[in-house]
Amino acid sequence: MRKRPARPPDPVSDDDIRLFHEAIGPVRRHVDDTAPANTIDKPAPEPRQFLLDEARVRDELLDMPIDPGEMEVGEELSYLRDGYRPDLLKRLKRGHFSIEDEIDLHQMNAEVARSAIVEFMGEAKRRGLHCIKLIHGKGLRSRAGGPVIKRLVDRMLRQRDDVVGFASARSEHGGTGATVVLLRYRG
C-alpha cells in the first residue's frame, strides 16, 4: 500500500492566533537556571592513538634485528625545489607528513609506469592531496643498468613544478623502494 506524501500544513490565520492567545491567557518565557552544556569545562583532548604509535615506534627501534647503519646507504632519493626551507625536506624524511595516497609501480615497464605516474599525480592534484607515495621497488631484479623505475620516478618528479620535494620513504613505509612526495599546496 502506497503512502501519500504528507502535505504541508495550512497557514495559520490571524483569527486562529487570536483565539489561541485568548484560550491560553498570558504567557511568560521559561528561564532555565542550569548552566548551558557548552559552558562546562571539557577536558583537553588526549591524542591516545598518537601516543600509542609513538610508544610502538620507540619499542620497535629498540628491538631492531638489524643495524640501521647498514641499511641502504647511498640509494636514497632526495630533492627539494629551490626557494623552500631545508627543514621541509628534513621533516619529509622523518615522516612528519601523513601519506594520503599511494601507487604501486611494481611489475610495470617504464612506459606503463610513466603513464601511471602522470595519471596518479593528476588525480592527486585534483583531489588536493599534499603528500603521496610512489612504490617503485629497489630495482633488485633490474639488469646491469640499475633500477629503471626508481630512476624514472626521480627524473619525472624533478621535472614537475607541482612537486615541492621528495625523499625515500622511511623503512616502515618501504625504505628506498618507495618515494614520498610533497606536493605544492593549493588551499
Helix (H) or strand (E) holding 134: strand 131-135
> Mean pLDDT across the stretch 52-73?
64
Choose between 31 and 62: higher pLDDT. 31
The pLDDT of residue 28 is 76
| Pairing label, strands 101-104, 131-135 | parallel
Cβ contact 120:108 at 8 Å: no
pLDDT at residue 64 is higher than 60:
no
Q: Report which of residues 22 and 80 the model is more confident about.
A: 80
Question: Tens of pLDDT along 11-59?
Answer: 888 898 888 888 888 777 777 766 666 666 777 888 888 888 888 887 7
* Backbone dihedral angles phi then psi of residue 106, each to the nearest 5 degrees: -55, 150
**pLDDT of 86 over the 60 cut:** yes
CA atoms within a 13 Å half-sphere pointing along the CA-CB vector of 30: 2
Cβ proximity of 77 and 150 under 8 Å: yes
Average pLDDT over residues 74-78: 81
What share of the chain in percent tops pLDDT 90?
45
The model's pTM is 0.59
**Least confident range of 16-25, 90-99, 100-109, 146-155:** 16-25
Q: Is the pLDDT of residue 70 over 50?
A: no
What beta strand segments (E) does 31-100 contain?
A: 78-80
- Among 100, 65, 73, 28, residue whose Cα is nearest residue 168: 73
Could you tell me which residue, 24 or 159, shows the higher pLDDT? 159
**Comparing 105 with 17, which gets the higher pLDDT?**
105
Domains in the chain with CATH codes: 74-183 (3.30.1370.110)
Q: Which three cell numbers stand for residue 81?
A: 625545489
> What does the pLDDT average to over 58-76?
60
Q: 27: buried, middle or exposed (CB in 10 Å: 19+, 13-18, 0-12)?
A: exposed
- Give the CA angle between residues 139, 145, 147 to the nearest 5°: 20
Output 140 or 83, whichever has higher pLDDT.
83
